[in-house]
Structure 1
């Protein structure tokens, strides 16, 4: 004999019931079947909602009651042949008449007792099973209806269920021994108490019903049909990469179900454990799928961690005070008090100092727990030996579960490290002596991020998902997006990195998509985005609250750079080619570095100096390895190098600058480059990376532009002034040429001082023959005193700058 149970989602419509009947008929080909049915999907919730409304004298319950009556009558009319309908329609109307009477009583008394709540909530299963029994009769399949109110005897206290197995097993054995049938139709969830009054087995009790019957009849297995392919590594609604488990142990299943996995009602395992009856979790809509087998062991699960789960409807109750230290029996009094109040403790943690105890309870029991504790310890509170109990809400419990965890070292460290790296604070920790469960209390807002972080750590390694929030999609940003798209497959295959762009913004529009933006069509999608707003952009990143998040700034905006500190403080890494933040006041630069360290985020800005060249990285490695900088000499402006390499007086100076701007070598405002401000910022950044506390005003600048052009207020005015100053530029060029020298805009750092300016360099100088927009940096250090360490290459342009940003993103991904 087989025991099959079908949940409410499997019975949500007549079409689904017909699908269920096909599954049952297939099993009937092999053996007799006991089929246990939940209420139609959503009905039990409606029944309880109506009871609450009636207790509040809210007549809206009548509308819901009428809708439910119609739903059941319509289902019966569709499933049962017309000739057989009168009997079942009469039963349905009788049941709803009884319900109406119960609700009227609740309405008139303005009171809803636990006893009445249990009676009302069981009507859904009675109705669904009676309709389905008639449906089978219409199919020509003989079935026996078994009313579990006559079989299962349970003692209920609110939602806490205790089954009298002696009476229950005897009832089941007698019934099935005296009624011979190929198919038994059984309502789940409902029972009776020891006084013979109708009761229930608690929410989810249809699973429990099937297990009780299977245990009493000593069947080989129980099949639980639901709407998913078994028990998952994590909640698939919150963790997209979660997958179903082929096999888990009874103990693992109990841990997962107790800690929030809703596929299985926790007490279900109890009557099956000692008898070694397997539980098969199957998908009604994909019955050919293997699903999950719950049995004595989980040998087929090769991972140390079997699953990750959570409970979010909890609150913490904290008891603290010096009066607890060294006092025997304090914990006994505490937990005895909670027991007498009927408060279930979900998690316990106590400091070794005995100065505090933290317990987690169901959210709706927290106030009751506090009141009971404060009353029990009123003397200690009055004498200030302990503080009144404090309630902390907006928290959740996450848990790692697995039989093999106890034989593997370092799992706790990996768990807490992964959470900490994503700015997920842990409020309390608990681990059982069996080491099958490691639980942590975190903020409720962090649950989705925590589950995905831990799933990535324990189930998806070595792959890693990186979430990008990009502002600035012009030359550099556009090239970056193109590179990300082109390298998508390579990154996943070779580096195990899945990079998703979740947000894009320019100065006008911004676009968000938590599932990832289509990089083939991002321009059109961005055009239809919402108005750009820097604060709103930050708020949305916080709202997404995703692991491995990176804010990418491809702009030259001072306003945007002011937001870096907020991203870093939320453990969102920052990658930028925007030099303003690192060249800002030293205290602001230092604050960003400190925030990155404090919150475990990365702050990378390699492209601030030399675009895609590894200049900052090389300098940082020299310093980290104990070397000391003596002098830095550099050509750091690709735009200025391009301008002076190109300018030969055959075309006016302003034309060459225009060409540089058109090719993306200069900032949007070319004056920033030609004034030397950009180079000054770059040498300042290198000075700070070398350990010096310099400000931008400390950088000496030797200007080659006229003061009038330096104080121009627009690009148009600036270019007009460059035209006017053409004779001066020709003179500078001819002077250098007459000496056989080239013009280079050079930055130098030596003896704690820095300066920038236009210089003439001879043909033997390392800066000579520096072509196009190339940059070059000479590092003179204790290890390289005479022959400097040289970094040289393309130092400007959208492509190389984008590739430098890309490299920083990869560097974070590989951490």
Structure 2
């Protein structure tokens, strides 16, 4: 004898019923079959909705009832030949007449009792099973309808279902001993109580029905057909990378189903455990797929963690106070009160100080529990020995489940570390002594991020997803996008990093796509985006609440740099080539560093100094390893180096500056580069990374530009004045040539002081013959006192700056 069960999603339409029938007939080729059927998809929800409407004297229930009657009658007409329809049409209409009478009674009494709710909610299974049984007969299959209500006996206590297994098993064994046929069709979910009144086994109870039949008849297995390929590592609708599990144990399945895995109704396992009857979860629409086998052992499952699941319809109750400490029997009173109110405790945690008890209960039972507890402890509350019970809502429980977790150290640490790094706060923790389940209470808004974070941590070891939100798509930003697009396959294959761009913004437009933007077509997409707004951009990033989120700033905007603190405070990493934040007041610089540490985010700004050169990284490693910085000498402006390398008076100075600007070596406002402000900011950042608390005004600057040019209001005026100042530039150049020297704009840090300015360097100096837009930094330290540590290379240009930003993104991905 085989026991099969088909869920409502498998029966959502007549075409699906036909598909189910083919599957059943395939099983009939091997042995007789008991097929348990749920209601047609969505019917049970409609029945309960109609009952609630009728209880509120809302006649809208009649329209829904008419729609459902029409649906079932149309199913009969589509599935069963006209010559065989009359009997089943009469049965269906008779059931709907009974339903109509029940709803009228609820409407007139303005009351919906638990008993009536049970009776009403079971009609969907009766109707579907009657129709399907008749369909099999019309197809020439030897079939018999079995009314589960005549066989399964249960006891209902305040909506909690308890099966009387002794009577139920006796009924089932007697029935199947005296009835022989190829196919039995039975409704799931329905039963009768010990007084003979129709009842149900709880939502999802069709699984339970199949398990009860199998347990009574000692079958080898139960096959549950649903709309997915078995039980998954996580909810696939919330975790796109979740995959089905081939084998899990009864205990793992029980934990997963209890904590929200909707593929299996939790009580289903009860009749099967002792008899070691396997459960096979299979896909109605892909029956050849292996699905999931639930059995006594899950040795075939090689992972330490089997699955990740969650419950979101809960609330936390917390009771605390000094009057609890060292008082024997307090916990007994606490849980006895909950028992008397029939409140089920989902999770328990108690501080070792005995100062507080925190529990999680179903959301609809929280107020009942609070009222009962506050009344029971009224005397202690009045004496301020304990506080009134506090309810915390908008929370959810996430759980790691796995039989092998107890054999592996550090799983809890990995779990909490992964959550903490993504700014997911844990409100309570529980772990059983079996170590099969580690549960944590978090904010409901963080559930999707938490599930994906943990799934990535425990099931997607080969790859890590980085979610980028980029502002600034000019020279540097566009080059970065090109590099990301070009290296996509390499990153996934070699570094196991999946980098997605989910948001883009320039000064005019912004666009978001939670599934990742098409980088082949990003310019056109951005043009069609909404109006750019820094606040809204941040709000969108925060609202998406994705793991491993990174905000990338490719601008030189002071306004955008002011948003770094908001991103970091929400555990969103920041990568920037914008020097303004790190060269702002020391207080702001230190605050950003502290926020990154506090909220587990990364703040990466390697490109602030030297574009793609590892200057800041080298300095940080020197300091972290205990070396002391004595002096730094550097040429830090690729644009100024380009200008003075190319200025030989054959072309006027302003023409060389224009060329540098055209080739992307300067900021959009070239005064920032030529005034030395940019270099001053860079040496300031290096000074701070060395451990000095300097401000920008502490940097001594020797200007080579006229004050008039520095005061110019736009680029046109600036270049006009540079043209007029040409004699001065020729004089500076000639003075260097006469001394067989080169002009370099040098930054220097020594004895706690920093300065920048134009210098003449001789042919033996390390700065001599520095070509193009190259940068060079000399680190004189305790370890490198005479021969400095030198970092040298291209220090400007969109391509190398973008590559530096890219490297910072990868650095975050490798953490």
Provide TM-score, normalisation by structure 2: 0.99
Task: Tell me, in whole angstroms, the C-alpha distance in 2 between the residues paired with 1:539 and 1:387.
Answer: 37
Q: Could you tell me which residue of structure 1 aligns to residue 168 of structure 2?
A: 168
Which range moves more in the overlay, 805-814 or 151-160? Answer: 151-160
Q: Could you tell me which residue of structure 2 aligns to residue 634 of structure 1?
A: 634
Match of 1:668, SS state, is coil
Q: Where in structure 2 are the equivalents of 1:760-775 lying within 5 Å?
A: 760-775=760-775
Which range moves more in the overlay, 53-62 or 370-379? Answer: 53-62
Q: Could you tell me which residue of structure 2 aligns to residue 371 of structure 1?
A: 371
> Which deviations, in whole Å up to 9, do the C-alpha atoms of 1:562-621 show, x marking residues without a partner?
010011011111000000000001100000000001011110100000000000000001
Is 2:738 the partner of 1:738? yes
Q: Does the Cα contact within 8 Å between 2:568 and 2:595 map onto a contact in 1?
A: yes
Q: Where in structure 2 are the equivalents of 1:610-759 lying within 5 Å?
A: 610-759=610-759
Deviation at 1:538, TM superposition (A): 0.7
Task: Tell me, in whole angstroms, the C-alpha distance in 1 between the residues paired with 2:647 and 2:773.
Answer: 13
Q: Could you tell me which residue of structure 2 aligns to residue 32 of structure 1?
A: 32
> Which deviations, in whole Å up to 9, do the C-alpha atoms of 1:215-252 show, x marking residues without a partner?
00111100000000000011111111111000000011
> Which deviations, in whole Å up to 9, do the C-alpha atoms of 1:296-321 show, x marking residues without a partner?
00010001111110000000000101
Deviation at 1:486, TM superposition (A): 1.1
Q: Could you tell me which residue of structure 1 aligns to residue 513 of structure 2?
A: 513
Q: Does the Cα contact within 8 Å between 2:114 and 2:159 map onto a contact in 1?
A: no
> Which deviations, in whole Å up to 9, do the C-alpha atoms of 1:742-800 show, x marking residues without a partner?
11111111111111111111111111100000000011111111111110000000110
Task: Tell me, in whole angstroms, the C-alpha distance in 2 between the residues paired with 1:692 and 1:406.
Answer: 49
Task: Tell me, in whole angstroms, the C-alpha distance in 2 between the residues paired with 1:462 and 1:682.
Answer: 38
Q: Does the Cα contact within 8 Å between 2:149 and 2:192 map onto a contact in 1?
A: yes
Q: Could you tell me which residue of structure 2 aligns to residue 324 of structure 1?
A: 324
Task: Tell me, in whole angstroms, the C-alpha distance in 1 between the residues paired with 2:709 and 2:60.
Answer: 76
Task: Tell me, in whole angstroms, the C-alpha distance in 2 between the residues paired with 1:411 and 1:71.
Answer: 51
Is 2:427 the partner of 1:427? yes
Task: Tell me, in whole angstroms, the C-alpha distance in 1 between the residues paired with 2:145 and 2:118.
Answer: 22
Deviation at 1:633, TM superposition (A): 0.6
Q: Could you tell me which residue of structure 2 aligns to residue 589 of structure 1?
A: 589
> Which deviations, in whole Å up to 9, do the C-alpha atoms of 1:123-165 show, x marking residues without a partner?
1001111111111111111210000010100112344210000
Q: Where in structure 2 are the equivalents of 1:555-566 lying within 5 Å?
A: 555-566=555-566
Deviation at 1:55, TM superposition (A): 1.1
Q: Could you tell me which residue of structure 1 aligns to residue 295 of structure 2?
A: 295
Q: Could you tell me which residue of structure 1 aligns to residue 545 of structure 2?
A: 545
Q: Could you tell me which residue of structure 1 aligns to residue 456 of structure 2?
A: 456
Q: Where in structure 2 are the equivalents of 1:252-267 lying within 5 Å?
A: 252-267=252-267
Q: Could you tell me which residue of structure 2 aligns to residue 531 of structure 1?
A: 531
Task: Tell me, in whole angstroms, the C-alpha distance in 1 between the residues paired with 2:533 and 2:136.
Answer: 61
Q: Could you tell me which residue of structure 2 aligns to residue 136 of structure 1?
A: 136
Q: Could you tell me which residue of structure 2 aligns to residue 241 of structure 1?
A: 241
Task: Tell me, in whole angstroms, the C-alpha distance in 1 between the residues paired with 2:20 and 2:520.
Answer: 43
> Which deviations, in whole Å up to 9, do the C-alpha atoms of 1:340-392 show, x marking residues without a partner?
10100000000000000000000000000000101111111111111110000
Q: Where in structure 2 are the equivalents of 1:463-478 lying within 5 Å?
A: 463-478=463-478
Q: Where in structure 2 are the equivalents of 1:267-286 lying within 5 Å?
A: 267-286=267-286
Q: Could you tell me which residue of structure 2 aligns to residue 360 of structure 1?
A: 360
Q: Could you tell me which residue of structure 2 aligns to residue 184 of structure 1?
A: 184
> Which deviations, in whole Å up to 9, do the C-alpha atoms of 1:417-462 show, x marking residues without a partner?
1111111111111111111111111111111111111111111113
Match of 2:694, SS state, is coil
Q: Could you tell me which residue of structure 2 aligns to residue 122 of structure 1?
A: 122
Match of 1:538, SS state, is helix
Q: Does the Cα contact within 8 Å between 1:159 and 1:203 map onto a contact in 2?
A: no
Structure 1 runs of 4+ with >3 Å offset: none
Q: How many residues matched?
A: 815
Is 2:111 the partner of 1:111? yes
Q: Does the Cα contact within 8 Å between 1:631 and 1:779 map onto a contact in 2?
A: yes
Task: Tell me, in whole angstroms, the C-alpha distance in 1 between the residues paired with 2:513 and 2:395.
Answer: 27
Q: Does the Cα contact within 8 Å between 1:744 and 1:767 map onto a contact in 2?
A: yes
Match of 1:627, SS state, is coil
Q: Could you tell me which residue of structure 1 aligns to residue 394 of structure 2?
A: 394
Task: Tell me, in whole angstroms, the C-alpha distance in 1 between the residues paired with 2:43 and 2:725.
Answer: 84
Task: Tell me, in whole angstroms, the C-alpha distance in 1 between the residues paired with 2:164 and 2:276.
Answer: 20
Match of 1:786, SS state, is coil
> Which deviations, in whole Å up to 9, do the C-alpha atoms of 1:310-337 show, x marking residues without a partner?
0000000001011111111111111110
Task: Tell me, in whole angstroms, the C-alpha distance in 1 between the residues paired with 2:506 and 2:157.
Answer: 59
Task: Tell me, in whole angstroms, the C-alpha distance in 1 between the residues paired with 2:437 and 2:574.
Answer: 35
Q: Could you tell me which residue of structure 1 aligns to residue 214 of structure 2?
A: 214
> Which deviations, in whole Å up to 9, do the C-alpha atoms of 1:89-130 show, x marking residues without a partner?
221111111111111111111111100100010010011111
Task: Tell me, in whole angstroms, the C-alpha distance in 2 between the residues paired with 1:724 and 1:8.
Answer: 84
Q: Does the Cα contact within 8 Å between 1:320 and 1:356 map onto a contact in 2?
A: yes
Q: Could you tell me which residue of structure 2 aligns to residue 384 of structure 1?
A: 384
Task: Tell me, in whole angstroms, the C-alpha distance in 2 between the residues paired with 1:35 and 1:222.
Answer: 10
Q: Could you tell me which residue of structure 2 aligns to residue 573 of structure 1?
A: 573
Which range moves more in the overlay, 337-346 or 704-713? Answer: 704-713
**Any gaps of 5 or more consecutive residues in structure 1?**
none
Task: Tell me, in whole angstroms, the C-alpha distance in 2 between the residues paired with 1:158 and 1:458.
Answer: 40
Q: Does the Cα contact within 8 Å between 2:633 and 2:777 map onto a contact in 1?
A: yes
Task: Tell me, in whole angstroms, the C-alpha distance in 2 between the residues paired with 1:662 and 1:150.
Answer: 87
Q: Does the Cα contact within 8 Å between 2:158 and 2:342 map onto a contact in 1?
A: no
Task: Tell me, in whole angstroms, the C-alpha distance in 2 between the residues paired with 1:156 and 1:699.
Answer: 81
Q: Could you tell me which residue of structure 1 aligns to residue 407 of structure 2?
A: 407
Q: Could you tell me which residue of structure 2 aligns to residue 41 of structure 1?
A: 41
Task: Tell me, in whole angstroms, the C-alpha distance in 2 between the residues paired with 1:109 and 1:501.
Answer: 58
Q: Where in structure 2 are the equivalents of 1:340-359 lying within 5 Å?
A: 340-359=340-359
Task: Tell me, in whole angstroms, the C-alpha distance in 1 between the residues paired with 2:258 and 2:81.
Answer: 43
Match of 1:27, SS state, is helix
Q: Does the Cα contact within 8 Å between 1:9 and 1:40 map onto a contact in 2?
A: yes
Task: Tell me, in whole angstroms, the C-alpha distance in 2 between the residues paired with 1:108 and 1:662.
Answer: 83
Match of 2:766, SS state, is coil
Which range moves more in the overlay, 422-431 or 720-729? Answer: 720-729
Deviation at 1:701, TM superposition (A): 0.9
Q: Does the Cα contact within 8 Å between 1:568 and 1:574 map onto a contact in 2?
A: yes
> Which deviations, in whole Å up to 9, do the C-alpha atoms of 1:10-44 show, x marking residues without a partner?
00011111110110011011110100000011110
Task: Tell me, in whole angstroms, the C-alpha distance in 2 between the residues paired with 1:229 and 1:160.
Answer: 30
> Which deviations, in whole Å up to 9, do the C-alpha atoms of 1:526-565 show, x marking residues without a partner?
1111111111111111111111111111111111100100
Deviation at 1:737, TM superposition (A): 1.4
Q: Could you tell me which residue of structure 2 aligns to residue 14 of structure 1?
A: 14
Q: Could you tell me which residue of structure 2 aligns to residue 307 of structure 1?
A: 307
Deviation at 1:521, TM superposition (A): 1.4
Match of 2:314, SS state, is strand
Q: Could you tell me which residue of structure 2 aligns to residue 598 of structure 1?
A: 598
Q: Does the Cα contact within 8 Å between 2:318 and 2:358 map onto a contact in 1?
A: yes
Task: Tell me, in whole angstroms, the C-alpha distance in 1 between the residues paired with 2:219 and 2:785.
Answer: 84
Q: Could you tell me which residue of structure 1 aligns to residue 56 of structure 2?
A: 56
Match of 1:352, SS state, is coil
Deviation at 1:74, TM superposition (A): 1.0
